[in-house]
Amino acid sequence: MSRSGKRTWGKTTVGVLLTGIMLFPVYWMLNVSLTRDQDMRKSPPDLFPVHATLSGYRTVLEEQLPYLGTSLVIGLGTVALTVVLSAPAGYALAKLRPRGGGVLGFVLLAAQMIPGIIMAMGFYAIYLQLGMLQSVPGLIVADSTLAVPFAVLIFTAFMSGIPGELLQAAKTDGAGPWRTFRSIVLPMSRNAVVTVSLFAFLWSWSDFIFASTLVNGGAHEPITLGIYHYIGNNNQEWNAIMATAVVASLPATVILVLAQRYVAAGVTAGAVKD
Amino acid sequence: MNSFSRGRRLTAAALTALAVATSATACGSGSTGTGTKAADDGTYTIWDPYPQFAKGSAWVKLLDACGAKAGVKIKRTGFDTSDLANKTLLAAQQDNSPDLLIVDNPVVSTLAEAGVLTTTDENKLDTSKVDPNLLAAGQVGGKTYGTPIGANTLALYYNKKVLKEAGVDVASVKDWPSLTAALAKVEKAGKKGITFSAIGTEEGSFQFLPWFWGSGAKLTELDSPAAVSALSLWKGWLDKGYAPNSVLNNTQTTSWQEFATGDYAFAENGTWQLAGAKKAGFDYGVLPVPASGGGNAAAPTGGEFVTVPVQSDTGRYTTTQKLTTCLTSTQNLYDTDTTLSYVAPTTEIQDKQVAADPELKPWVEAVRSAKGRTSDDLGTKYPKISEQMWKAVQSALSGSKSPKDALTAAQSAVK
Amino acid sequence: MSHTTRVPHRRPAPDHSGAAGAAPAAPPPARRRPSSQQWAAWAFLTPVTLYLVLFYAYPLYRNIDLSLRNYTVRSFVQGDAPFTGLQNYRTVFDDPTFAPALLHTVVFTAVCLVFQYAIGLALAVFFNQHFRLSATLRALFLVPWLLPLIVSASTWSWMLNSDSGIVNAVLHAVGVDPVNWLTSPSWSLISVIIANIWIGVPFNLVVLYSGLQSIPAGLYEAAALDGAGPWRRFWSITFPLLRPVSAITLLLGLVYTLKVFDIIWIMTKGGPAESSTTFATWSYQLGFGNLLPAFGPGAAVGNLLVVAALVFGLVYARVQRKQALS
């Protein structure tokens, strides 16, 4: 290790540099969140928020906390729904070789290609009839459509890596498909579950189009709509918008950093046997 | 291989069948009204384009108070203004329209054309006191479909300090040549001339219209020499550097931010920026957009209309009428327009507004000479014309076509 | 920390066809399956199938229906629009916007895919060498992904602003003339491509990085012993072994990129003069970007996008099957 210590530091430097370049727009967002209204369009712009104002953050902390809570609930709900729907499907597609499974797989792939706005309008028409507009469960179902096809894909890929002998053995012991799934397949797919959960969470966290179509004006709105409230009819409070974005991305960042080692392992395992 | 394609066909057929079934039931239940509101449970829905007003704001309190007065509960939803027209169309398709709809004025004629709105004959809105030029935006084929809740329009804000340093007397700005001359002086003094919004949306058309109308052009003839002169005016400013290139991408908000830096002499913007102007920290004035040969150009009216969408249960109109009467009462209109920073739609309230805030005087005058975009019975022809107009503005300013060619193309596309 | 803790025992050939896409898993006709297993399989699949039908088929059906009828706002509300067959598609094909929009869609998608993939792969290889802070830095790379699109797109349009943007300020400082990134017809497409690449890199990085994790370290050691340099090792081990991951990454990337709408809409609205209009923004422009929506043609353009993505999906399925057979 000591021999290569020097080289490692060299790489770390390059890594930090690259990360710096990649995150520059994020820094810029932070900078704007601290800028006063009248300096927003200064030319040339200030590299640092010289006349920093915390007014954006003050507004956000006063108004946006409930939105963050709602987003959290919606994110977790989406994760649960996605896993419940797609893990069994992945198992069936990977191991039980259903007739028509290939078609279903293709339909899943195709499903991801429907533009979001079309999906949103369809949901709107359905929910209007069911009286499910402005409800959190409704949004959870809608948000899960962002993740389910991808999740089935990942689960299928991952679960086909589970040795057939193991399942055969369980069968010989008299376990039905459901028990095999619950006590062997699912525990072995922990990393896939984490990966899928993470993606599902992130997608629902950053979803805007469903939120704005389906729950706009409701009692519980997610953070992306919280941001939108600063974009009024004729007026936009940019430092509040950017401040919300900063605040909104903090919890997501924490989750991401904590979970990323699973992501790596999970996606690998699956997407990608090969 | 064979089984694959057969399976696919089967699945496709099944999917289609199910989808048809779903949509059929959707339509079926629509007429019985099982949607968001039951027959008459004493709850009335109101949609408005003011998402910035949350619960507890004066606007929402006013709605609740009007509901209480009429003896019903109010369910209010604030939508993003660009979404509202589509949401309304979809809701009407499902026979689930709100009881009361407050909507951007150029949308009124589209919704009326779609048969979504009731006329003032049916909904008994009293429009007798409203300024006729404002009401015109809500009139199609001799019928009126709503009443304005307030109006706004465009004028030129100017930065007194910048003009003074450049040696420009604002009184000299009377027509296009004198305005361009003023911009040249400002540019020479090392400051920036004028900013506006020429973005490729309705906002861009809204901002171009004062110049378009000020040249004497008509919306029915986009390629008239007068129209070309208006677009050439803008193009000339960009070419000479009097206006920044960013106008092509500016919304009215970003354009305002440019003006708020204090570097610009002029900005074309609306009534709603008054509050922001006071915050900007420099001395500003307001003058009407000049017409090409002097005098004031007609600016387009902005602002929303109170409308009553068609209900299958016509018994609801009686209560809705109480709500609209309450919302448009003199005192409530005054309060609402003060909150929105709008000019009121009736002379009586306008005078009251000017008495309370003399700064509103030029705006009241501008609104009185303003013109609805869908007026002249253009109705649903306006959206098509407007789209071609903003496209032409974008083509000309970005240099991909000359003003004349751009407008000629626009006119032929409208037909 | 060990990333590979749970990487399962991998199985060679037999399951091949079920690989990632699960797409074409055309079952070998020879094998007979017991029917009880069939029942079980479909029992497991029922929830997701119902879900698909309920929540995907209906919007899609609606959109197809919209594209086959002559909808005006009035008939949209009354529901009595006359069936006009492919008339809307003909309108769209004849529209002067069609050719440029097609070109921009192809260029946008292709360039974004190539760069996202190349940058993602380069970064994945770089971060795959374990050095101090590598895990943390890699995680930070994912931050752009967490930002709501409306915010990242707005941030980019600020940075690229002609007059007060930081990019032009930097260019000015090094003596380059300012560029009208968003307002010149020759630059607007490039600008939205740059922003979209930035947003897409994290996804590619995550998936490709995890793909790299599954390549046994022993292979590299053996190659190093044989005297292969890093460049050789990349081309003869990493790249070929990464092919399945690459395929699925590119396919998903393609599907997501074709759909990209928010970024372009927020940054340029498809302009100026349609110089950055793609099918996705055009569809939106027709259906929603105007006071008077043209539902029919808008839906038709949307369907063309779905068809295009489907074609690529089929190509992918074909290629997968060929690989599985060979």
The CATH number for C139's domain is 1.10.3720.10
**b/e A40-57 (16+ beta carbons within 10 angstroms → b):** bbbbebeeebeeeeeebb
Per residue in A47-100, pLDDT (tens digit) is 777 777 787 788 778 778 888 889 989 999 999 999 999 999 988 888 887 887
Between C221 and C101, where is the model more confident?
Answer: C101
Answer yes or no: is pLDDT of B334 > 90.
yes
Domain residues for the domain of C176 are: 99-276
Inter-chain touch B279–A121, beta carbons under 8 Å: no
Report the pLDDT value the prediction gives residue B306, as an integer from 0 to 100.
94
Of A233-237, B20-24, B256-260, C258-262, the one with minimum mean pLDDT is B20-24
- Phi, psi (rounded to 5 degrees) for B117: -105, 150
Answer yes or no: is pLDDT of B298 > 70.
yes
Per residue in B127-144, pLDDT (tens digit) is 888 999 899 888 888 899
User: With an 8 Å Cβ cutoff, is C318 touching chain A?
Assistant: no
CB A118 within 8 A of CB C59: yes
Both structure tokens of A123? 């949901």
Classify residue C214: in a domain, yes or no. Answer: yes
Report the pLDDT value the prediction gives residue C195, as an integer from 0 to 100.
93
Answer yes or no: is pLDDT of B13 > 70.
no
Answer yes or no: is pLDDT of C23 > 70.
no
Between C145 and B312, where is the model more confident?
Answer: B312
Per residue in A158-170, pLDDT (tens digit) is 787 778 888 888 8
Out of B34, B80, B257, whose CB is closest to A41? Answer: B257
Per residue in B82-123, pLDDT (tens digit) is 778 888 888 888 788 899 999 999 889 889 988 999 999 888
Closest C-alpha to B339, from B78, B53, B106: B53
Answer yes or no: is pLDDT of B324 > 50.
yes
Which chain B residue's Cα is nearest to C95?
Answer: B413
CB B253 within 8 A of CB B196: no
User: With an 8 Å Cβ cutoff, is A42 touching chain B?
Assistant: yes
CB B218 within 8 A of CB B224: yes
The arithmetic mean of pLDDT across residues C183-197, rounded, is 91
CB A29 within 8 A of CB A242: yes
Residue whose tokens read 């005098």 = B295
Both structure tokens of A175? 């376990």
Per residue in B197-228, pLDDT (tens digit) is 998 888 899 999 999 999 999 999 999 999 99
Report the pLDDT value the prediction gives residue B78, as an integer from 0 to 100.
82
Say which amino acid occupies B379: G
Inter-chain touch B276–A37, beta carbons under 8 Å: yes
Q: Which of A45-49, A54-58, A110-114, B256-260 has the highest mean pLDDT?
A: B256-260
Query: Structural domain tally of chain C?
Result: 1
Out of A118, A223, A228, whose CB is closest to C59? Answer: A118
Size of interface A-B (CB pairs under 8 A): 110
Answer yes or no: is pLDDT of B344 > 90.
yes
The arithmetic mean of pLDDT across residues C86-107, rounded, is 90
ipTM of predicted complex: 0.76
CA distance C217 to chain B (A): 39
Report the pLDDT value the prediction gives residue B305, as an integer from 0 to 100.
93
- Which of B36, B55, B97, B202 should be substituted to probe chain A, the one whose Cβ sees the most A Cβ atoms within 10 Å? B36
CB B384 within 8 A of CB B414: yes
Whole-structure pTM value: 0.80
Of A13-17, A249-253, B273-277, the one with minimum mean pLDDT is A249-253
Per residue in C31-46, pLDDT (tens digit) is 455 677 788 888 888 8
User: With an 8 Å Cβ cutoff, is A40 touching chain B?
Assistant: yes
Q: Considering only residues 157 to 176 of chain C, which have any Cβ-Cβ distance to chain A shorter than 8 Å?
A: 158-159, 161, 163-166, 169, 172
Both structure tokens of B86? 């589509």
CA distance C237 to chain A (A): 13
Share of chain A above pLDDT 70, in %: 88
Report the pLDDT value the prediction gives residue B256, as an integer from 0 to 100.
87
Classify residue C272: in a domain, yes or no. Answer: yes
CA distance C277 to chain A (A): 16
User: With an 8 Å Cβ cutoff, is A39 touching chain B?
Assistant: yes
Task: Sort out which chain A residues have CB atoms less than 8 A from B7's CB and list them.
Answer: 99-100, 102-103
Helix (H) or strand (E) holding B81: helix B81-93
For residue C98, give Cα distances in angstroms to C74, C104, C297, C304: 27, 10, 11, 11
Distance, first Cα to last Cα, chain A: 32
Per residue in B48-58, pLDDT (tens digit) is 888 777 778 88
Classify residue C10: in a domain, yes or no. Answer: no
Per residue in C46-78, pLDDT (tens digit) is 888 888 888 888 888 888 888 888 888 888 888
Answer yes or no: is pLDDT of A218 > 80.
no
Between B343 and A116, where is the model more confident?
Answer: B343
Q: Distance (Å, rounded) from C-alpha A71 to C-alpha A119? A: 20
Report the pLDDT value the prediction gives residue A264, as an integer from 0 to 100.
54
Report the pLDDT value the prediction gives residue B205, as an integer from 0 to 100.
93
Contacts of residue A100, defined as CB under 8 A and 6 or more positions apart, other chains included, come to B7, B10, B11
Between A252 and B327, where is the model more confident?
Answer: B327
Where are the domain boundaries for CATH 1.10.3720.10 in chain A? 57-271
Share of chain B above pLDDT 90, in %: 48
Report the pLDDT value the prediction gives residue B6, as an integer from 0 to 100.
35
For residue B348, give Cα distances in angstroms to B132, B329, B331, B335: 14, 12, 11, 14
Report the pLDDT value the prediction gives residue C147, as an integer from 0 to 100.
78
Handedness of CA C189, C191, C197, C202 (dihedral sign): negative
Helices assigned H by DSSP within C96-187:
98-128, 134-140, 143-146, 149-159, 166-173
Closest C-alpha to A88, from C51, C242, C256: C51
Q: Which stretches of B149-260 are assigned E, i.e. beta strand? A: 154-159, 192-195
Answer yes or no: is pLDDT of B23 > 70.
no
pLDDT class for B145, splitting at 50, 70, 90? very high
pLDDT class for A231, splitting at 50, 70, 90? low
Between C216 and C99, where is the model more confident?
Answer: C99
Task: Sort out which chain A residues have CB atoms less than 8 A from B49's CB and list them.
Answer: 233
- Which of B398, B402, B412, B414 should be substituted to probe chain C, the one whose Cβ sees the most C Cβ atoms within 10 Å? B398
Answer yes or no: is pLDDT of C205 > 80.
yes
User: What domains, with CATH codes, occur in chain B?
Assistant: 43-148+304-341 (3.40.190.10), 154-301+376-414 (3.40.190.10)
Report the pLDDT value the prediction gives residue B242, as an integer from 0 to 100.
94
Average pLDDT of every residue of chain C: 80
Q: Between the CA atoms of A269, A274, B3 and B4, what dihedral angle is there, to the nearest 10 degrees?
A: 70
Answer yes or no: is pLDDT of B26 > 70.
no
Report the pLDDT value the prediction gives residue B291, as an integer from 0 to 100.
93
Task: Sort out which chain C residues have CB atoms less than 8 A from B244's CB and list them.
Answer: 162-163
- Which of C54, C276, C291, C310 should be substituted to probe chain B, the one whose Cβ sees the most B Cβ atoms within 10 Å? C291
The arithmetic mean of pLDDT across residues B10-26, rounded, is 36
pLDDT class for B24, splitting at 50, 70, 90? very low
Out of C53, C184, C185, whose CB is closest to B15? Answer: C53
Answer yes or no: is pLDDT of A2 > 60.
no
Chains that touch B (3 or more CB pairs under 8 A): A, C
The arithmetic mean of pLDDT across residues C111-121, rounded, is 95
Between B180 and C274, where is the model more confident?
Answer: B180
pLDDT class for A178, splitting at 50, 70, 90? confident
Inter-chain touch A162–C22, beta carbons under 8 Å: no
Domain A57-271 falls in which CATH fold? MetI-like fold (1.10.3720)
User: With an 8 Å Cβ cutoff, is C65 touching chain A?
Assistant: no
Report the pLDDT value the prediction gives residue C193, as an integer from 0 to 100.
95
Per residue in C262-295, pLDDT (tens digit) is 889 888 888 788 889 998 888 888 877 777 778 8
User: With an 8 Å Cβ cutoff, is C279 touching chain A?
Assistant: no
